[in-house]
Structure formats: C-alpha cells, structure tokens
A = this chain, B = another copy of it.
Amino acid sequence: MKVDGRVERGEQTRRQILGRAAAIASVEGLEGLSIGRLATELAVSKSGVFAHFGSKEELQLATVRAAAAVFVDRVVKPALELPPGRARLEALCEGWLTYSEERTFPGGCFFHAVQAEFGARPGRVRDKIAEYGTKWHDLVTATAAEVPGVADPAQLAFELIAVLELANSRSVLHDDPDAYRRARQALRSHLP
C-alpha cells in the first residue's frame, strides 16, 4: 500500500501539535490553550495549526482524544494484560498513580484538569470528556466486579477513583509527593 508523503508529513505534524496541546492543556486548560501560542511553541505558523482542525473546538476535541489514547496506553493496556481479579484491579490503580506521579502530562492527570474546567459548561467538548469519564468508571467497576469478595463493585470503584484523583490533585497543587503514599495506603485498606 502506497503512502502519500504529504499526508504522512501532515499526520506527523498533527501528532506533534496534539502532543504539545495535551501537555499545555493539562496545565492551562483547554481554553487557556491558544492556537497562537501552540504555533509559536512548535515554530510553525498559526494558520498552519489552524488548518489541521478548522476550529478551536475541533482542536480541543482532538486534544481530548489524543490524551485519551495516551491514557489507555499508559494505564489501561498494561493492566489488561493481567488476568482478571485482584491483581488486575491493583495494576489499574497503581498504573494510574504512576501515570500521575511521573507527570505523563506536566500538569498531572489531563482528565482531572479538563473535567473540572468543562464540568459545568455545555458543549461537545464537555460531552466527550464526560464520555471518557464514564468509560473509565465503567472499566474500574467491571474490573472490581471480577475480584472475589467484592459485594458492590461500583461503590468500590467510586472510592478507589476518589483516592486516585485526590492524590493527583494534592500532589499537583502542593508539590506534595506524600499524597501518593496516602493514596497507596488507602488502596491497601480498600482492596479485599
């Protein structure tokens, strides 16, 4: 199968743009992310960036999708390589903490930042973020359901995610790595 070198180059540029966009948005938010700044940082023209997406909203949506792909790659996929059960659930939580702790995105968890930003606003971007949020919650719930001795998987998932998110939030806001220690302790006491 033949590849068009121009399209190929365009896709690479697009990947670069979205990588940087997700990094910026994790710190400044998806609204704080501006096309002009993105172009300056990547040393390309503003219209070049714009042409890839056609509107700011499309850029935001593409950025959310790109961040989700990173998240799946870093957190979900490794855990799914383990057999269902306690070990997989633990890997999911631990993978999440590592993903946050290592600053895969410089502002901590991308989705924590944009959820808080778009949570109370209508629009397609919010809907997409909410959709990924539901998927994540459902995944944790389903994974918890496969652990023997878990009476209410959705409740357990709620409490686990709560701990993960607070660890991220506290670590980012207070530069306090101790938050991850607290989170791990909480996970130990929650998992059966």
Which residues of A approach B to under 8 Å, CB–CB? Answer: 26-29, 31-32, 106-108, 112-113, 115-121, 126, 129-130, 133-134, 154-155, 158-159, 161-163, 165-166, 169-170, 172-174, 179, 182-183, 185-186
Contact = CB atoms under 8 A, between A and B. Distances in A.
Contact of A162 (B115, B118, B166, B173): B166
Nearest to A159: B186
A108 B154 CA distance: 23
**Most B CB atoms within 10 A — which of A112, A126, A173?**
A173
- State the 8 A-B residue pairs at the shortest beta-carbon distance, nearest first: A116-B116, A107-B120, A162-B166, A162-B162, A119-B172, A119-B173, A27-B120, A158-B182
Contacts of A154: 182
Q: How many copies does the complex hold?
A: 2
A163 B182 CA distance: 14
- Interface of A: prevailing SS: helix
B31 A116 contact: no
Nearest to A179: B158
A57 to B, nearest CB: 15
Given A108-B119, A120-B113, A130-B174, A166 B165 contact: yes
Nearest to A120: B107
B163 A159 contact: yes
Contact of A155 (B116, B121, B186): B186
Given A129-B173, A166-B166, 7 more contacts: A29-B29, A113-B119, A115-B169, A115-B173, A158-B182, A159-B159, A162-B186
